[in-house]
Structure 1
Amino acid sequence: MTAIESAVAVVTGGGSGIGSACAASLSARGTRCVLVGRRRDRLEAAASELDGPATPIAADLTAPGEPERVVAEVLAEHGRIDLMVHSAGVFDKAPASEVTRDHWQRVLDVNLSAVMALTRAGWEALSESGGQIVLISSIAAVQAFEGNAAYAASKGGLNALGEVLRLEGRDRGIRVITLSPAQIDTELWDGKAPDAVRARMMPATGVGELVASLVHADRRIDIGPIVIRPVHDPWVGPAP
């Protein structure tokens, strides 16, 4: 892979939360970032705050043809793709008995199918550059929580997909890293957790720094799935 200081990174969900934090950490190291998401205004705002040049691309990655369009635009402007960070996602809670077909399909489309579609579209470009893929999964992939049927299924599938891609990418020079974080303080928690609880969550900036560090690691190192958690359970707090 091209040195991270001159690489081109495609970051989904780049307009907010984990995606914008990853882009900020990568941009600070000289990486040219392409921010992908549904809302151009948020992408442009996030791009304007980065240290280096950034390209916003508004796209619905669940729609047919959109992942291919994104890859084509990136290659037309930058000529290469060295890194994909898949951080776009939805977190819609519902008990299994109340999950509708539409709810189930929407969550899996965004959290899993869109990841596969964009990865497939960019696979050859990543192979040519000896690139890397980072999948932002969730602790819900490996630890059950009530009310998370669709979300947990989508993230469990993402972990499994990451392992397949990790094996298939090795001979193509592609490194795949899957992160399964617990609670991260992003806008997804707006109205769902009090300030005291959110203060004990992991900061998105810290996760962004971790991602930038991992992709900077020696390429002879195969990085398996990683679970990251806050030091203390946000809902309980530190021991007295």
Structure 2
Amino acid sequence: MNATTDLLRVDAVKKSYGPIQVLHGVSMSVARGEVFAIIGPNGAGKTTMFKVMTGEVASNGGTIHFDGRDVTRMPAYERVRQGFGRTFQVARVFRDFTVLDNVIVAVEARRRHTGEAVGSWRNCAPSADIRDEAMSLLADVKLDALADGAARFLSHGDKKRLEFVIALAGRPSILMLDEPTAGMSPSDRSDIAKLVSRTRKERGITVVMTEHDMDVVFGLADRIMVMNYGEVVSTGTVDEVRNDPKVREVYLGKEMVSA
């Protein structure tokens, strides 16, 4: 692996659930700083691929390297400490915490791991600079006005934004976004796409995403991998994938290619 170019490399990864094989030796590589999208029909294995890459489930074969390290058997929390950030199809936030406290928890977790100051253990309240960092992150996605409200009362789109901010609070070098616009209105989908694009440019973060909205995929991705039945059908640039006859057959269709 060339640590100066590839940040993430997956080689011949397999995953089975009992007798059912979901991933059939999938390989891929993601360059530093790029947006890499994984697409395919329902049941293609995209979410399982995400779970294996992020350590949520263990693979049954193959290897995963991140930033030059073999992380194949590393649990999810250790991958987060190595530089992974993750969001989910259904946003996972602390529903009974305030919006601000959701982010404070993430900031404090990162600081404790890296040895940064978190304030006196005798003080139950977060330190001023931790609170300021959390508020700054919320302001960046226009959630600061909702900081003191419970996360359970956020709209679907705002929960997805909050989850995105929680991932960013860990200062990851790679963001793994599983269906970041799922269930959103057209305007919310556009806002999330702009947020991902801006975050990638401003922070230099590498992004790997699954997504069903092809307008979002084609607008964001540098490269795309198409999966079907747990195998790779095609990998390439947007134009290469759009014009691949195998991709048209299994997923995009003539209408999407000509759009």
**Pairwise TM-score range, normalised by the shorter structure:** 0.3 to 0.5
More strand by share: 2
Larger CA Rg, structure 1 vs 2: 2
More relative contact order, 1 or 2 (CA 8 Å, 6+ apart) = 2
More helix by share: 1
